[in-house]
Structure 1
Amino acid sequence: MSTPTRVALVMGGSGGIGRTVVERLAADGMAVGVHYAGNRDAADEAVKAIEAAGGRAITVTGDVADERETAAVFDAMEAVFGGIDVVVNAAGILALSPLATFDLDVLDRMHRTNIRGAFVVAQQAARRARAGGAIIGFSTSQTRMGFPGYSAYAASKAAVETMTFVLAREMRGRDVTVNAVAPGPTATAMFLEGKDRATIDRLMAQPPLERLGTPADIADVVSFLAGPARWINGQVIYANGGIA
């Protein structure tokens, strides 16, 4: 008897780390939902690449902070694939400024996506993930590193860590793990934007491994939590090369 295909939904899967996670989970043999908020072309490209490699994937869209739109994303996944095993929420907004001068309208927009959105996605995942599944959120190593300018962003991700800890206990008896990944400095377009060579070199020198992380480094951790890591639960995995 063949093993049923596992199904993964990656929120924010059209670009950055989320795109690499999509590709990795598809390579692991999962059918994948590629969620996007605004860049449909990038999501379509991801699906075409997965299908060209022999995998199964669809695009789904919706505002992560809108409970109706997010429920519709999960409905679409279940309609096509019959259920969901793994939910990865890589959707997020990064805005940087010293706390004393941070624009409160920007704060509200960022926290709507990073906190409310994380809550809404986790809520749907908690209701729908099948036994043997995994719910994986994204935090940041800035909750430990404390770089200036990151107060608002790190605060939003500290909320994700608390949700992870509590939801893992609320899922008792469901055989669904709940964890979060906290990347350190990772060479994505979003992270590198606005940084000069000297700043990048300084960041590369900080970890004992003396380099920036790559999206593939982070996707490896997600793959582990989504598959064989059944005894890791309620944890935040700091993927930062030892920087913190």
Structure 2
Amino acid sequence: MSITPTLNDPFKMVLEDHEYPEVLKVLAETSTEDLLAMAQRTGENEVPFIATYVVTTCNSIGIQQVLIFGGLLEIFAAVSETRGNSELMRNMEEDLGVSRSQAFRCRAAWRSYGSKLLSEKSTLHQFCRESLKMLAEERTPEAAREEALKLARKGERITIKVAQNLQKKHGMTLPTPSDSTPTVVANKPGHWVFSGSVVRIKLVHNEPGELADVPAVIRDLEAAINELRQMQENMTAA
């Protein structure tokens, strides 16, 4: 029986810790039938190593994407700000299909961790994207960021829960729901304010005058809710 050369077998390449672009190149040239045949020849004791490779690599790629995205947006934000033209940045966010808040969070992640994590491949995969963004928030104490980095270097996984605990430990108080009844504050032309049990939402129309286009306002609010739901799903899955 012929033996498949290592460089033609993506499973063996994974077990030998080849870089993922090399593995994917070989995978792209492998038929489904051959892939399944190779998988059958993979030993049960090798499955955990393959799983570790996949998790480590995917996490590292995810964090790299956040940092690279944030770094490049930081470059363009400087172009926009020095020209006093915020519309440039808004157009960039629209072209990329990213919300203003997510763009800002990626930029914050770059400022907090970019120079440190991009040079530390072994540390990258210990974070998840949401925990990195949380730790980069302005209200997070610097001591919490530093401790997270130290823990990651020791091999500890920095989950959302770990990030929250570090924020609390170093002095940041997380919001807690209250029993107060949500109320709508009296409005005036061009403004609409809603005070809930946890947050206060203030809408300011982009154009002077009243909030006449109510359906458009509702669509924007629904888009914001969907983004929060997606963030919650990501937090739950992490």
Structure showing greater radius of gyration is: 2
Pair in the same fold by TM > 0.5: no
Give the structure with the higher percent strand. Answer: 1
Higher relative contact order (CA 8 A, sep 6+): 1
Normalising by the smaller structure, the TM-score range is: under 0.3
Give the structure with the higher percent helix. Answer: 2
The two structures have a TM-score, normalised by structure 1, of: 0.24
The two structures have a TM-score, normalised by structure 2, of: 0.24
